């Protein structure tokens, strides 16, 4: 391998810098503020878990993508592939935690799988999760949908479709179709590929389960019952008529309860989709995926999640169900969606760039004083010319420069120039914040993120 080749990034990962890094921080901060507004508290778990923890749940497909490693003590470890399993491990080990327990987590997860950068899929990606533990009823799901709705509004994303289903209902549909219990988990994993590979390919994969275990009639019936068309009510009524198992009926009742909350909140963008599967095997009830209505921007779900009532009990070894439900915002995909409705963003967080003219020592002191006013200040430390320094500031989209020469030092002022139109004034150091607040030209200088509000 050449030296140049060795310096390249690892496959499937990306460096984030400049406007992309600023956008990521903006989305993270916005989501964090919404999460905390709803009463969720932060939890940080390690990116490294014992391999046994990550092998307990998730299913065979995701286990193929786990990054595994061994420490110097020969212990088998792995990098987390989501935030849910670590939450269950954490909660199971802390019986003192109050219930209901509401947490959020924002951090990187790792999957050694196929990448699709144009759809925001990398081998390292950031999940922004919210979860509620200890609430059995659909009020928990309803709150999560309300939270997601507020997050979309804050980020300028109002035009979305929320798809919901229920694992119990899907289990009942598979009973009606004649799918045996031994094939259900694999059938769900394959059904989850429906939007990616289409109906014909899904049928082919289903027919190959167990070396041809499923008869064609069962495959056709599963596709038929999950592809039922109509309004939410019409789909519910159809499935209610054909449902034969108590499990399936409970699932439909839970969906009905969630849709009732949605009707109360006038959420007309929530769609009951019986084919929604979610590939992970730990879901026990509600499943949720959120898409942009304009699929030309992003075809994949930007938010997904569901109910995982058995996971915490399995970690405790008691087998007792502990109600739990959560949503996960994919940071990379959310940023792609936000960027598509954004009129502009900036290359730097700096608001004021100070240019010393043979006054570096004094300028350092004045920059420190101005920073105490909660202003993001950078200063030229190279001694370049005024013209060169201003050109540098303008290239980064910094809205203001502050010039400090000998005349400014004598007068105890700073000459502030707005680069978008050349507006210039001498301002006392103590009045810099007030002056910038009044004279910011965010429409031209992009000194803050500007979004098209829905």
Q: What is the rounded average pLDDT of the residues 278-292? A: 91
Query: Of residues 296 and 123, which shows the higher confidence score?
Result: 123
Let me know if domain 352-451 sits in CATH 3.40.190.10.
no
pLDDT of residue 442 exceeding 60, the answer is no
CATH architecture entry for 8-342: 2-Layer Sandwich (3.30)
What confidence tier does 279 reach under pLDDT thresholds 50, 70, 90? confident
Confidence (pLDDT) at 296: 76
Confidence (pLDDT) at 441: 57
415, containing H or E segment: strand 413-418
Confidence (pLDDT) at 447: 35
Q: Write the CA distances from 70 to 9, 78, 83, integer angstroms.
A: 23, 8, 21
Q: Tens digit of pLDDT for each residue in 57-88?
A: 877 778 999 999 999 999 999 999 999 999 99
Q: Tens digit of pLDDT for each residue in 297-343?
A: 788 899 999 999 999 999 998 778 999 999 999 999 999 989 887 76
CB 188 within 8 A of CB 284: no
pLDDT of residue 446 exceeding 80, the answer is no
pTM for the whole thing?
0.89
The rounded distance, in Å, linking the Cα atoms of 126 and 331 is: 5
The rounded distance, in Å, linking the Cα atoms of 335 and 120 is: 9
As annotated, the residues of the chain forming the CATH 3.30.930.10 domain(s) are 8-342
pLDDT of residue 45 exceeding 50, the answer is yes
As annotated, the residues of the chain forming the CATH 3.40.50.800 domain(s) are 352-451
What confidence tier does 240 reach under pLDDT thresholds 50, 70, 90? very high
What confidence tier does 452 reach under pLDDT thresholds 50, 70, 90? very low
The rounded distance, in Å, linking the Cα atoms of 386 and 391 is: 9
Q: Considering the chain, what is the average pLDDT of its residues? A: 91
**CB contact set of 142 (below 8 Å; sequence gap of 6+):** 258, 261, 262, 265
Confidence (pLDDT) at 1: 64
Pick from 129, 124, 121, 122: nearest CA to 110: 124
Q: What is the rounded average pLDDT of the residues 213-223? A: 91
pLDDT of residue 449 exceeding 60, the answer is no
């Amino acid at each position: 391998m050449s030296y140049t080749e060795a310096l390249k990034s690892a496959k499937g990962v990306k460096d984030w810098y400049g406007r992309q890094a600023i956008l990521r921080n903006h989305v993270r901060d916005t989501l964090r503020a919404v999460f905390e507004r709803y009463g969720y508290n932060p939890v940080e778990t390690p990116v490294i878990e014992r391999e046994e923890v990550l092998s307990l749940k998730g299913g065979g497909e995701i286990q193929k993508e786990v990054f595994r490693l061994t420490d110097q003590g020969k212990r088998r470890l792995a990098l987390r592939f989501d935030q849910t399993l670590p939450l269950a491990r954490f909660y199971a080990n802390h019986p003192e935690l109050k219930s209901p327990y509401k947490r959020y987590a924002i951090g990187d997860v790792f999957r050694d799988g196929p990448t699709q950068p144009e759809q925001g899929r990398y081998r390292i990606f950031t999940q922004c999760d919210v979860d509620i533990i200890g609430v059995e009823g659909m009020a928990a799901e309803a709150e999560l949908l309300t939270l997601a709705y507020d997050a979309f509004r804050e980020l300028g994303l109002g035009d979305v479709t929320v798809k919901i289903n229920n694992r119990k209902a899907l289990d009942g549909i598979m009973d009606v179709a004649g799918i045996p219990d031994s094939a259900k988990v694999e059938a769900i994993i394959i059904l989850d590929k429906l939007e990616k590979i289409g109906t014909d390919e899904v049928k082919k994969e289903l027919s190959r389960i167990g070396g041809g275990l499923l008869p064609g009639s069962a495959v056709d019936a599963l596709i038929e019952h999950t592809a039922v068309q109509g309004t939410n009510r019409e789909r519910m009524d159809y499935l209610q008529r054909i449902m034969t198992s108590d499990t399936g009926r409970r699932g439909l009742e839970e969906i009905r309860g969630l849709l009732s909350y949605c009707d109360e909140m006038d959420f007309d963008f929530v769609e009951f989709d019986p084919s929604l599967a979610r590939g992970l095997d730990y879901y026990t009830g509600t499943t949720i995926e959120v898409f942009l209505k304009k699929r030309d921007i992003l075809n994949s779900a930007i938010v997904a999640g569901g109910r995982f009532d058995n996971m915490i009990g399995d970690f405790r070894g008691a087998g007792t169900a502990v109600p739990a439900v959560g949503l996960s915002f994919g940071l990379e995909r959310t940023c792609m969606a936000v960027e598509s409705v954004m009129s502009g963003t900036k290359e730097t967080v700096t608001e004021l760039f100070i240019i010393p003219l043979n006054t570096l020592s004094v300028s350092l002191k004045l920059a420190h004083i101005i920073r105490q006013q909660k202003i993001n200040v950078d200063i030229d430390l190279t001694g370049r010319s005024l013209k060169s320094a201003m050109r540098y500031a303008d290239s980064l989209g910094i809205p203001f420069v502050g010039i400090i020469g000998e005349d400014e030092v004598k007068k105890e002022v700073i000459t502030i120039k707005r680069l978008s139109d050349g507006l210039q004034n001498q301002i006392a150091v103590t009045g810099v914040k007030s002056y910038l607040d009044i004279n910011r030209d965010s429409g031209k200088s992009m000194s803050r993120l500007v979004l098209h509000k829905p």
